[in-house]
Each structure stands twice: as structure tokens, then as C-alpha cells.
Structure 1
Amino acid sequence: MSDGIMPPERRITVRASRDSDVDAMLSIYRRHIRHGVEDSVDDTGTPEPDDLRDRRKNLRNTRLPHLVAVEHGEVVGYAYVVLFRKRPAYRYTVKHSIYVHHQYVGQGVGRILLQELIDTCAAAGFRQMIGYIDGDNAASLALHDRFGFARVGRLPGVAYRHGRWSDSVMVQRSLAAGATEPPPPAPLSRR
């Protein structure tokens, strides 16, 4: 810096999201919808604050992580997982989503959130993590490559935005023992 003052030490922390984070998360999401590489070109389908509060509550009740990255008290990104499919056979597989504030893209927030999701989901007994990434989102694809995600499929021309068709890339990563051994037996139900 020209004035000789060093920027304050960067300290990004990750914690479980709170209802008080909803407005910041919606702001991040809506910007991604309007300006980023996302599923829509307008925000008419974006959730309202109560929708996001309900989603958080449902994820918390099922013990699925819904996290925020915070710097200096401000939410700079968020991430969560949902079950990949609702049928019992898929109960060990989650699908993740990560959104980073536009001013923090490329500064390690996505990396920090992804690592926390991987660690949390592995510790909870999940065996596979799936993601769908826009084919034009080179930064996200590179991040997932660095974390050992394999590109397991490409869905050509499934999204239409900004006047053209776009592909989605499906990525997958094993967690813990992955598919190398069966899961532990389910606990016996109490009668």
C-alpha cells in the first residue's frame, strides 16, 4: 500500500449459520443469480428470507451442515449439503453448494468452506459428496479438482442464461472409507 499501512490480518472463520445470517446469505445468492454463473438469469425464483430460515431449520433437524464463512463479523460466504436423493439407499451421499460474496471470490473462502463441508460430512458418516458446477465456472472446477473431486459427468446444454445454453459438470469425491467397505450397521431401534 502506498501509505505504508499494512492491511489487517486476514481471519476467516467458519461456523453454523444463524437466522441472523439469512439476509447476508440471500444477498450473496441473489448476486450470483444476477451476475454469476448460476441456474437463472433473474431472481424471481430466489428464496425469500422465510424460505431460507425454513431450509436452515430442516437441515439442522437432519444434522446436515449449513455453514457461513465470516470475516470481521460479516458473512463472506456460505455452504451447505442436502441428501443426494431421498431414498434410503442414498443416505450416505450428499450434494453440496457453496456461495462466496463477489468481493471475496479468489481469496480462499470457497476453499475454507469446502474443506469444512468435507470434514464435517466425513465425520458424520457420509461416504460420497456430489456437486453440480456450471461448465463455464473454471475457478470452481479447479477448486474441486484440487480437493480430489472427479469429473464424473457432463450434462450438455441443460441451463439457458445470458442468451446461450450452458453445460453442468457433475463432480464426486469419496469421504472417509468411501465405497471401499460397507457402512456400520444401523443402530437397533428401541421398542
Structure 2
Amino acid sequence: MSVLETMPSARIQVRDATNDDIPSITAIYEWHVLHGRGSFEEIPPTQAQMAERLQAVHAQELPWLVALHSGIVVGYCYATVYRPRPAYRFTLEDSVYIDASMTGQGVGRELLTMLIERCEQGPWRQMVAIIGDGENNTGSCHLHKQLGFEVAGLLQSVGFKLGAWRDTLIMQRPLNDGDRTLP
């Protein structure tokens, strides 16, 4: 039985992730690693590894959010520094993962909307989405387009997962004033 089938209709709530959310976050991501084409990881991380990832995001004072439906974690998203070199310091990368039974229910939109709002409270000027399986990942592409991301490029056949070559689609949106003003 799916998460959606076990819960009455309720509004999605979004809040900051805590260590208590690690088991749910790990389970959601495990499904995407084993069955999805959006993540290019092939071995699901352990709960301890996911806890380290959460700590690393928090150490950078960046948001990691979870979505709850009737009190159950059904998705998460976070922002990380796009690349470690100093010139990239005003650019972030987003990641969004939704419980497979909750796709198309507005969870991703709630999460990414709040993530963008939170990131716009800081000094950042660009957000990029690196979307595994490229244009075939229609849910993620549609979500990002709805929230102002535009296609910036396509890297063809850069990943090999689940028996096939996978593209990576790069999408981008400005944060705050974008590049219209200096930081």
C-alpha cells in the first residue's frame, strides 16, 4: 500500500529537516537510487551517510527541507554550493526527491518554492538544477520550469544507469537580482 493510499487528504507542510527525519529521507532516496533515473548514484547511502549529508548542508548554513503529509515525510529538498571554487560562491544547486507514491501531488512544488524563498534570503544570485535523465525526467523538468528555471544546457549520455545511457539537463533561475547587479 502506498503512502498516499494510507493517508486522508491533507495539506502539505514544509519545515526544516532534522536528524529525526533521516530514516524517512534515506528511504525516499533509496527508492530513487535503486529504481529512478534522476539520481546517478547506484548504491543507496546508509542512514549514517545521509545524516552526514544533512550536517554538511547545515554547516554551510543552507536549507534542507522536508514535506509532510499528515505528519509523514513524503519528500525533501536542499541547496548546496554549486562548486567549491570561490568564483561560484553566489550560485547554489537544488536537489528535490519525492516519495514515489506522492509524485504529481504538489509536494515538489511546495518544497522547491520554499527552498527558493529561503535561498533568496541570502546573498546568492543563481540556482541551478542538474537533472538526471535529462528531458526524460518530465516531472522534474516541469516542476523547475513552473518555478522560473530555464534550460541552460544538455549533457548527452554522461551517465550510465539501469542499463542505458542517461543525459543530464542543466536548468537555471536567478535568485534575488540575479546578474542585474553586482553582489
TM over 0.5: yes
Return 5+ residue gaps in structure 1 as ranges: 1-6, 184-191
1:71 to 69, 74, 81: 69
* Alignment check: 8 A CA contact 1:158 1:166 kept: yes
Shift of 1:146: 1.3
Distance 1:50 1:9 in 2: 32
Contact 2:78–2:96 at 8 Å: present in 1 too? Answer: yes
5 Å-filtered alignment, 1:55-94, equals 55-94=53-92
Relative distance call for 1:118 and 1:40 in structure 2 (3 A) is closer
- The equivalent of 1:168 in structure 2 is 168
Q: Does 1:19 align with 2:23?
A: no
What stretches of structure 2 of length at least 5 have no aligned partner?
Answer: 1-6
Query: Displacement of 1:162 after TM fit?
Result: 2.3
Task: Tell me the residue number matched to 2:103.
Answer: 105
**What secondary structure sits across from 1:38 in the alignment?**
coil
CA distances 1:100-156 after superposition (whole Å, capped 9, x unpaired): 001110000000111011100011121100011122101111111111111001000
- Give 3-state SS (helix, strand or coil) of 1:176's partner: coil
Residue of structure 2 equivalent to 1:155:
155
% same residue? 38
Separation in structure 2 between the aligned mates of residue 117 and residue 125 of structure 1, nearest angstrom: 14
- 1:25, distance to aligned residue in structure 2 (A): 0.5
How far apart are the structure 2 equivalents of 1:15 and 1:151? 28
Distance change >3 Å, CA 41–CA 173, structure 1 → 2 = closer
Q: Do the aligned residues in 1 keep the contact of 2:75 with 2:108 (CA within 8 Å)?
A: yes
* Distance (Å, rounded) in 2 between the aligned partners of 1:8 and 1:52: 29
Compute the TM-score of the two structures, normalised by the length of structure 1: 0.87
Q: 1:178 to 1:8 in 2, by over 3 A?
A: same
State the partner residue of 2:145.
145
Whole-angstrom CA distance in 2 between matches of 1:68 and 1:107: 15
Find the aligned partners of 2:41 and 2:9 in 1 and give their Cα distance: 36
Which residue does 2:116 correspond to in 1?
Answer: 118
Q: CA deviation at 1:40?
A: 4.2
Structure 1 runs of 4+ aligned residues shifted over 4 Å read none
Instruction: Between the two structures, name the one with larger relative contact order (CA 8 Å, sep ≥ 6).
Output: 2
